[in-house]
């Protein structure tokens, strides 16, 4: 909790780590400021602050409304910061504070350990002095080179030995051409390779453009040639254990989006229905498992698994009374705290960002909570988890 004296110091003037916003209605500028402070271009390594309810001179105008409406403003701001608009999601806190009889909302932002670079709707923002602006190529290069490669998230590391030829350029070039056509200054629009670099697909190393792991896994021609474990094995048993007869089997390969499509379709074909509560003379049938919950668990498996230091695939095993989802790696960072799914964190932040852009992820940090709700609504037993070197999630059948 910020003290009165600390808040007075923050309101003294804007700086490269402090920005004032007069109204919570300035939604996009607030997100851009959060993004810029998370990127911490000056490498100050200090917490940044967006103070909502103060004009550009630091004079308090306040956030209008009673306690309940201020709480709602806090909730809306926090939800927008955690939404898919800003990627990867930085660590923030949002609190209401009182000063001189008026209410301010203080958003505190921890510097993100780039790379990857934090963006809002695909655009990176940085803070230079007291100005928040779009990052230029020099800014992006400065951010990307800040962290030694061996300490970067696996999905941002370069795949040495790979080149542009390892990506599906036939799909990427139309995206580049469309973006160029829509840009009002298309004569100065970046080249295809520069555009790929801006989108964090890779960069030039030793004179050659080289893709990173996320680019190979999301847009690669043959991801398994580079990362052999990047597959999802699916098997259905005609019994209660692995000694039972195998009824159906499938391995999903290709890019992560390809794997998700295959796994989702396979699960949909396996689901049958069982009688529910009768409504008068009409007998109601409900699915043994809610498909949307299973799809969310597959997405979670592919998005958050560990792809390094293992030869193990992701697995979906369907038994007569349950389905088990397992992936290499324990929950990452804050996601390992408390009950499974109560906190979110990203082992693969760039993979998550690219899946958001492609529409495979709509909501962030809420997937497991949504699964629990869907299971409850469908009449399934609660989700159960087991964590060792793997994360295993079990969904039990509706009886």
Cβ 232 vs Cβ 316: under 8 Å: yes
State whether 244 and 383 are in the same domain. Answer: yes
Both structure tokens of 259 = 């794997």
Give exposure, 243-273, as e/b (b: 16+ Cβ within 10 Å). eeeeeeeeebebbbbebbebbbebbeebeee
State whether 22 and 123 are in the same domain. Answer: yes
Cβ 117 vs Cβ 143: under 8 Å: yes
Nearest-angstrom CA–CA distance, 123 and 130: 19
Nearest-angstrom CA–CA distance, 90 and 110: 7
The domain boundary residue, chosen from 105, 133, 161: 133
Structural domain span for residue 354: 232-396
Opening angle at CA 62, ends 58 and 67, nearest 5: 150
Nearest-angstrom CA–CA distance, 314 and 252: 10
> Hey, is 168 helix, strand or coil?
coil
Both structure tokens of 3 = 């003290």
139 assigned to some structural domain: no
Q: In sequence order, what are the beta bridge partners of 326?
A: 315, 392
State whether 372 and 255 are in the same domain. Answer: yes
Q: Tell me, what's the pLDDT at 125?
A: 97
Q: Which residue has the tokens 């680019």?
A: 215
The domain boundary residue, chosen from 133, 162, 178: 133
State whether 167 and 213 are in the same domain. Answer: yes
Per-residue pLDDT of the chain (399 residues; tens, 9 = 90+): 778 888 889 999 999 999 999 999 999 999 999 999 999 999 999 999 999 999 999 999 999 888 889 999 999 999 999 888 899 889 999 999 998 889 999 999 999 988 899 999 989 999 999 999 999 989 998 998 888 888 899 999 999 999 999 999 999 999 999 999 988 877 889 999 999 999 999 999 889 999 999 999 999 999 999 999 999 999 999 999 999 999 999 999 999 999 999 999 999 999 987 776 666 556 677 899 999 999 999 999 999 999 998 999 999 999 999 999 999 998 877 666 677 776 777 889 999 999 999 999 876 777 899 999 999 999 999 999 999 889 999 999 987
189 assigned to some structural domain: yes
For residue 158, cis peptide bond before it (omega within 30 degrees of 0):
no
39 assigned to some structural domain: yes
- 335 CB-near residues (< 8 Å, 6+ apart): 304, 343, 344, 345
Q: What is the total residue count of the chain?
A: 399
Strand order of the β-sheet with 48-52 is 18-21, 48-52, 102-109, 92-99
32 CB neighbour count, 10 Å cutoff: 24
CA torsion sign for 161, 165, 167, 172 is positive
Q: Which residue has the tokens 């602006």?
A: 133
The domain boundary residue, chosen from 175, 206, 225: 225
Nearest-angstrom CA–CA distance, 381 and 294: 14
138 assigned to some structural domain: no
Helix spans in the chain (H): 4-10, 27-39, 67-81, 137-144, 169-182, 192-198, 213-219, 223-226, 256-270, 291-304, 349-357, 367-378
Both structure tokens of 388 = 């060792």
The DSSP secondary-structure symbol of 10 reads: H
* The total number of structural domains that make up the chain: 3
Cβ 248 vs Cβ 372: under 8 Å: no
Nearest-angstrom CA–CA distance, 360 and 382: 25
107 assigned to some structural domain: yes
State whether 174 and 301 are in the same domain. Answer: no
pTM as predicted: 0.84
302 assigned to some structural domain: yes
143 assigned to some structural domain: no
Q: Tell me, what's the pLDDT at 314?
A: 97
State whether 220 and 244 are in the same domain. Answer: no
State whether 350 and 268 are in the same domain. Answer: yes
CATH number of the domain at 72, please.
Answer: 3.30.950.30
State whether 91 and 184 are in the same domain. Answer: no
CATH number of the domain at 387, please.
Answer: 3.30.565.60
CA torsion sign for 116, 47, 79, 367 is positive
Q: Tell me, what's the pLDDT at 150?
A: 81
State whether 251 and 383 are in the same domain. Answer: yes
262 assigned to some structural domain: yes
State whether 242 and 358 are in the same domain. Answer: yes
85 CB neighbour count, 10 Å cutoff: 18
State whether 221 and 349 are in the same domain. Answer: no
45 CB neighbour count, 10 Å cutoff: 9
State whether 264 and 387 are in the same domain. Answer: yes
Q: Tell me, what's the pLDDT at 336?
A: 67
């Amino acid at each position: 909790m910020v003290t009165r004296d600390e808040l007075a110091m923050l309101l003294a003037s804007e700086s490269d780590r402090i920005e004032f916003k007069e109204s919570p209605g300035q939604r996009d500028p607030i997100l851009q400021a959060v993004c810029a402070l998370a990127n911490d271009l000056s490498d100050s390594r200090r917490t940044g602050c967006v103070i909502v309810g103060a004009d550009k001179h630091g004079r308090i105008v306040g956030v209008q409304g009673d306690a309940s409406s201020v709480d709602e403003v806090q909730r809306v701001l926090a939800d927008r910061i955690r939404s898919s608009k800003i990627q990867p999601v930085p660590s923030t806190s949002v609190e209401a504070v009182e000063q001189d009889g008026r209410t301010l909302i203080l958003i505190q932002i921890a510097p993100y350990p780039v790379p990857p670079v934090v963006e809002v709707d695909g655009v990176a923002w940085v803070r230079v002095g007291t100005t928040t602006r779009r990052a230029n190529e020099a800014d992006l290069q400065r951010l990307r080179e800040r962290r030694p490669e061996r300490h970067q998230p696996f999905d941002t590391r370069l795949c040495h030995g790979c080149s542009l030829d390892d990506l599906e350029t036939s799909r990427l070039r139309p995206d580049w051409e469309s973006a160029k056509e829509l840009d009002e200054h298309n004569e100065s629009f970046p080249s295809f390779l520069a555009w790929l670099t801006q989108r964090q697909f890779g960069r030039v190393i030793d004179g050659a453009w080289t893709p990173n792991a996320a680019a190979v896994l999301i847009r690669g021609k043959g991801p398994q040639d580079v990362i052999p474990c990047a597959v999802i094995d699916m098997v259905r048993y005609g019994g209660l254990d692995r000694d039972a007869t195998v009824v159906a089997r499938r391995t999903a390969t290709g890019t992560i989006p390809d794997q998700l499509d295959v796994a989702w379709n396979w699960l949909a074909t396996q689901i049958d229905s069982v009688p529910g509560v009768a409504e008068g003379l009409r007998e109601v049938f409900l699915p043994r498992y809610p498909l949307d919950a299973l799809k969310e668990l597959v997405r979670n498996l592919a998005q958050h698994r560990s792809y390094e230091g293992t030869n193990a695939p992701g697995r979906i095993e369907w038994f007569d009374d349950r389905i088990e989802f397992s992936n290499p790696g324990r929950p990452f960072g804050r996601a390992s705290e408390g009950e499974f799914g109560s906190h979110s964190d990203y082992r693969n932040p760039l993979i998550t960002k690219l899946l958001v852009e492609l529409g495979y992820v709509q909501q962030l940090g809420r997937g497991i909570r949504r699964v629990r709700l869907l299971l409850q609504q469908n009449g399934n037993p609660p989700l159960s988890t087991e964590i060792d070197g793997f994360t295993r999630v079990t969904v039990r059948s509706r009886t």
